[in-house]
Amino acid sequence: MNPSASGWLKKLLSEISVQDAFLKGDTSNFYQDLRTSGFIYGSNVKCIHKAYNNPDYTEEEFTKLNLVLSLIYIYNHHKGPKESFTDSVIAFYKAINEFKPSFLDELLGEKKGHELLEKIIHKRIHIDDNIITKNFNYFITNAVLFSDVLAFKTFLKEPNKVEDYLKELEAAIEIGVYKAFNTKEDKTDYDKSLMKLFESSLRYKNESHLNLQDILPSFTHVLEKYYLIDIVAMSLWSDKVIDNNEAIFLKSISKQLGLDEKIADDSIVHLSSFYTTYKDKIALLNSKNPVQSFYDNSGKMVSKLIKRNKKRLIKELQESKELLLLISKSTTTPLTDEEQKKVQGQLLDIFKSIPSLAIFMLPGGMLLLPIVIKFIPKLLPSAFDENRMEEK
């Protein structure tokens, strides 16, 4: 089977039987396979199904297989009424298209069935290397692919609640990661910079959402709990070390989720083991930690995206006077929370109309908005910024 050639999905589905040992496995073993494959960590080094561990597969192909097999596992364990697997997954991605705008816009209305789902899966896990760095893709986009799997589980039970579920899950991830960075005693410049990005990009700034004690109990399934702990552990491990205070924080997360503290220790052990085992296969780990690479590459990526869409972006910006005023103000004075929300909302509305900027709708895209705001003034006429001097 060639996961990069047309027809691979139909072949995979024809080979997978409801009697397959993988599909019949318990939840803990399923999640453990997701960890060891690298799917949870955003670096897929092998397949969660032993039959498809072809050493010639690329990381992108392993990612495709792991996402589809995970969705099949969830589908197989759902006991209620449901459409065929293919139709169910297509309906799911259509349902969350409003939550992640522009994700399917160019695909809908084209081919149907297996061919359409193949395109959706490819679009979901792959971003053109000329538009965005692989570091951002692997560690920000693909590291949260499991949120699709969890949301699909919710969709099968209560389709009308999937958007609310994704918002709550995203809030838990954002705030958990932000508080994890804030826990570090010895913060590097990169840690501090990323914290500022998180703080200015949080969608859920009201007090109740900022309190993990309020939001975490709403996640009751063991897969949700394990995943949230691992996401926070990844954040703590950004400097490749988890000190005592950080371990205590992770154990507090475990406790708030109603799990034994040993689960936090287990998360650290598996995370360290994975990155130690595959450090030579994961290019990002050969030189810098994920936080450094993310921060170093984000500015370059945003600059490239904005320059490529300069004319259309300027046109859209000029039609939004309030947004221009707020961006102008941000160059000299910090914006209030309310003003930041207005800027975020209006920028995202603009990005929806420009397909090339759809990256800002993907998981982690909110982190880039503060960087976007810094670049936008350079696009506009000099009258926009009286103090700006032309670069030589």
Tell me if 338 sits within 8 A of 322, measured CB to CB.
Answer: no
Question: Does the pLDDT of residue 168 top 50, yes or no?
Answer: yes
Q: Are residues 265 and 310 in the same domain?
A: no
Q: Are residues 282 and 296 in the same domain?
A: no
Q: Are residues 270 and 312 in the same domain?
A: no
- pLDDT for 231: 86
- 3-12, 253-262, 342-351: the lowest-pLDDT one: 342-351
Within a domain: residue 385? no
pTM score:
0.69
Q: Could you list the residue range(s) of the whole structural domain that residue 72 is in?
A: 8-145
Within a domain: residue 192? yes
Domain end residue (candidates: 286, 305, 336): 286
Within a domain: residue 327? yes
Within a domain: residue 383? no
Question: Does the pLDDT of residue 189 top 70, yes or no?
Answer: no
* Residue 183 C-alpha from the chain's centroid: 22
- pLDDT band at residue 138 under the 50/70/90 scheme: very low
CA distances from 84 to 13, 73, 233, 244, 303 (A): 11, 13, 36, 48, 43
- pLDDT for 207: 41
Q: Are residues 140 and 198 in the same domain?
A: no
Domain end residue (candidates: 229, 257, 286): 286
Q: Are residues 243 and 305 in the same domain?
A: no
CA distances from 300 to 195, 307, 378 (A): 19, 11, 14
- pLDDT for 225: 93
**In sequence order, what are the residues at sequence separation of 6 or more whose Cβ sits closer than 8 angstroms to the Cβ of residue 265?**
247, 251
Q: What is the pLDDT of residues 349-377, one digit of tens each?
A: 887 777 667 666 655 566 666 667 766 76
- pLDDT band at residue 297 under the 50/70/90 scheme: low
Q: Are residues 193 and 280 in the same domain?
A: yes
Mean predicted lDDT score pLDDT of the chain: 75
What share of the chain in percent tops pLDDT 70? 69
Q: Are residues 119 and 200 in the same domain?
A: no
User: SS3 sequence, the chain?
Assistant: CCCCCCCHHHHHHHHCCCCCHHHHCCHHHHHHHHHHHCCCCCCCCCCCCHHHCCCCCCHHHHHHHHHHHHHHHHHHHCCCCCCCHHHHHHHHHHHCCCCCCCCCCCCCCCCCHHHHHHHHHHHHHCCCCCCCCHHHHHHHHHHHCHHHHHHHHHHHHCHHHHHHHHHHHHHHHHHHHHHHHHHCCCCCHHHHHHHHHHHHHCCCCCHHHHCHHHHHHHCCCHHHHHHHHHHHHHHHHHHCCCCHHHHHHHHHHHHHCCCCCHHHHHHHHHHHHHHHHCCCCCHHHHCCCHHHHHHHHHHHHHHHHHHHCHHHHHHHHHCCHHHHHHHHHHCCCCCCHHHHHHHHHHHHHHHHCCHHHHHHHCCCHHHHHHHHHHHHHHCCCHHHCCCCCCCC
Question: Does the pLDDT of residue 380 top 70, yes or no?
Answer: no
Within a domain: residue 152? no
Question: Does the pLDDT of residue 329 top 50, yes or no?
Answer: yes
Within a domain: residue 347? yes
Q: Are residues 218 and 247 in the same domain?
A: yes
Q: What is the mean pLDDT of residues 38-61?
A: 88
Q: Are residues 372 and 299 in the same domain?
A: yes
Domain end residue (candidates: 258, 286, 314): 286
Q: What is the pLDDT of residues 190-228, one digit of tens each?
A: 566 555 655 554 444 444 445 777 778 788 899 999 999
- Count of domains observed in the chain: 3
Q: Are residues 281 and 333 in the same domain?
A: no
Question: The dihedral of CA 132, 277, 179, 167: what is its sign?
Answer: positive
Q: Are residues 265 and 366 in the same domain?
A: no
- pLDDT for 392: 41
Within a domain: residue 386? no
Question: Does the pLDDT of residue 386 top 50, yes or no?
Answer: no
Using CA atoms, how far apart are residues 304 and 68, in angstroms rounded to an integer?
A: 32
- pLDDT band at residue 95 under the 50/70/90 scheme: confident
* More reliable by pLDDT, 151 or 166: 151
Q: Are residues 137 and 177 in the same domain?
A: no
Within a domain: residue 12? yes
